C-alpha cells in the first residue's frame, strides 16, 4: 500500500481542513476570508490545494470560489456547500460538506449525507456506476427530494481531478469501479419541485491550463509557464494570479492568456429553477474487500 501513501497523507490533511472549515462557516462571514483561510490551512499542514476552495450558497451547486476583492458574505438562513481538494505531489483527494444555517435545509443536508453513506457501502471492484446512481436517486426520493442529474462524481488520477469514468447521481450507464482506482463520490440533492438540473451562470472564476507550449507573447508566456509549473492541469482561481509576483505585468499577461485556447474556464453551476442544493463528497480507494474512505467523512 506504500504507493498510496501520498493519498493517505492528503486524506488526513483534508479531514483536518474540513473540520477547521466547518467551524468557520457562519452567516455574515466573508467568502473571500473563508477561502483564503481554508487554502492557507491546507498549506500549513504540508499539502497544496488541488483546486480553489469552493463555497457555493443556496441554488449555486458547484464551481464558485471567491473572486479577487470579493465582497460576498454568507447570507443568513442559507445552505452552504464547502468543497475542498488537497494534493501531495499530484495525488488528489476531494471532499465536500453542507452546512445548513436554517432548520429548513436539514433534510437536504441529511439526504445528501445518507446518499453518500449508502453509495460508499455498495462500492467495490466491478460494481457498475449505474447501480450507484440508482442508490443515490432512491435515497433522494425516500426524502421526497431530487438528485441533480447533470452533476456527477469522478475518477481521480495524478494531477487529473476528473479522469476516467463519472459516477452519476441518477441511474446512467458508464462503466465499473476498478480495484485500486481512486474515485470522488458526490451526491447533489435539491428540492422535489426543482428541475434537478444545473446550468452555467455569470462569469468564470475558476480556470485551468490545458497544456503548456511556448507562445509568442513574452508576458503571456512567462505567466503560462508559471501556471503550468505550479498547477499542471489542476484548477486555479483568478484571485491567485493577482497575488503572484512575476517579472511581467501579470494583469496584461492574464488578459491575453485567459482567452487563449490553452486555458479552460469554469463558470459557477446553478440549479436552473433556483432549488436549494446540498452536497456530500468523499474520495475513496477501492481495495480487495471494499473501499478505504480517504478523508474519513463524518457519517
Ligand atoms: Mn469536490
Ligand atoms: Mn469532486
User: Does residue 154 have an active-site annotation?
Assistant: yes
Catalytic, out of 83, 134, 191, 282: 83
> What is the whole-number distance in angstroms between the Cα of residue 76 and the centre of ligand 1?
24
3: pLDDT strictly greater than 90: no
User: Does residue 219 have an active-site annotation?
Assistant: no
Instruction: Count Cβ atoms within 10 A of the Cβ of residue 82 and give its class: 0-12 exposed, 13-18 middle, 19 or more buried.
Output: buried
> What is the whole-number distance in angstroms between the Cα of residue 281 and the centre of ligand 2?
7
Catalytic, out of 39, 87, 134, 154: 154
Break the chain into its structural domains and give their ranges: 2-201+269-293, 206-266
Which ligand lies nearest to the CA atom of residue 81 in the structure? 1
- 179-to-119, 231, 286 alpha-carbon distances in Å: 17, 28, 5
- Cα distance between residue 105 and residue 277, in whole Å: 9
Q: What is the CATH number of domain 2-201+269-293?
A: 3.90.230.10
Average pLDDT of span 62-68: 97
pLDDT tens per residue, range 132-179: 999 999 999 999 999 999 999 999 999 999 999 999 999 999 999 999
Catalytic, out of 12, 59, 94, 271: 94
Catalytic, out of 36, 67, 70, 162: 162
> What is the whole-number distance in angstroms between the Cα of residue 95 and the centre of ligand 1?
5
- Cα distance between residue 96 and residue 83, in whole Å: 4
User: Does residue 186 have an active-site annotation?
Assistant: yes
Q: How confident is the model at residue 63 (pLDDT cuts 50, 70, 90)?
A: very high
User: Does residue 162 have an active-site annotation?
Assistant: yes
C-alpha cell read off for 4 = 498510496
Q: 281 by DSSP, 3-state: which?
A: strand
Q: How confident is the model at residue 247 (pLDDT cuts 50, 70, 90)?
A: confident
pLDDT tens per residue, range 70-120: 999 999 999 999 999 999 999 999 999 999 999 999 999 999 999 999 999
User: Does residue 94 have an active-site annotation?
Assistant: yes
Which ligand lies nearest to the CA atom of residue 279 in the structure? 1
Stated as kind and residue range, the H or E segment containing 38 is: helix 31-44
Per-residue DSSP letters for 81-149? EEEEEEEETTEEEEEEEEEESSGGGHHHHHHHHHHHHHHHHH--TT-BHHHHHHHHHHHHHHTTEEE-T
C-alpha cell read off for 108 = 437536504
User: Does residue 217 have an active-site annotation?
Assistant: no
Q: 191 by DSSP, 3-state: which?
A: strand
Of 131, 87, 124, 79, nearest to 280 by C-alpha is: 79
**200 or 298, greater pLDDT:** 200
Amino acid at each position: 500500500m506504500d504507493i498510496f501513501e501520498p493519498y493517505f497523507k492528503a486524506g488526513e490533511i483534508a479531514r483536518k481542513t474540513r473540520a477547521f472549515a466547518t467551524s468557520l462557516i457562519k452567516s455574515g462571514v466573508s467568502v473571500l476570508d473563508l477561502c483564503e483561510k481554508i487554502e492557507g490551512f491546507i498549506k500549513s499542514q504540508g499539502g497544496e490545494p488541488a483546486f480553489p476552495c469552493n463555497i457555493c450558497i443556496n441554488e449555486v451547486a458547484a464551481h464558485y470560489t471567491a473572486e479577487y476583492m470579493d465582497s460576498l458574505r454568507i447570507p443568513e438562513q442559507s445552505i452552504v456547500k464547502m468543497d475542498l481538494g488537497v494534493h501531495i505531489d499530484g495525488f488528489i483527494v476531494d471532499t465536500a460538506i453542507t452546512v445548513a444555517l436554517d432548520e429548513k435545509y436539514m433534510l437536504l443536508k441529511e439526504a445528501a449525507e445518507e446518499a453518500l453513506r449508502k453509495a460508499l457501502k455498495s462500492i467495490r471492484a466491478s460494481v457498475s456506476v449505474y447501480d450507484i446512481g440508482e442508490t443515490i436517486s432512491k435515497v433522494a426520493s425516500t426524502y421526497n427530494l431530487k438528485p441533480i442529474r447533470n452533476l456527477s462524481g469522478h475518477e481521480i488520477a495524478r494531477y487529473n481531478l476528473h479522469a476516467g469514468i463519472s459516477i452519476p447521481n441518477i441511474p446512467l450507464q458508464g462503466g465499473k469501479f476498478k480495484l485500486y482506482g481512486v474515485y470522488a463520490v458526490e451526491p447533489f440533492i435539491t428540492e422535489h419541485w426543482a428541475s434537478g438540473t444545473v446550468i452555467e451562470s455569470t462569469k468564470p472564476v475558476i480556470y485551468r491550463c490545458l497544456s503548456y507550449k511556448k507562445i509568442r507573447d513574452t508576458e503571456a508566456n512567462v505567466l503560462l509557464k508559471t501556471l503550468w509549473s505550479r498547477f499542471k492541469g489542476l484548477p486555479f482561481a483568478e484571485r491567485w494570479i493577482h497575488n503572484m509576483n512575476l517579472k511581467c505585468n501579470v494583469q496584461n499577461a492574464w488578459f491575453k492568456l485567459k482567452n487563449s485556447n490553452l486555458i479552460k474556464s469554469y463558470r459557477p453551476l446553478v440549479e436552473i429553477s433556483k432549488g436549494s442544493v446540498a452536497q456530500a463528497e468523499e474520495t475513496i480507494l477501492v481495495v480487495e474487500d471494499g473501499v478505504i474512505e480517504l478523508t474519513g467523512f463524518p457519517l
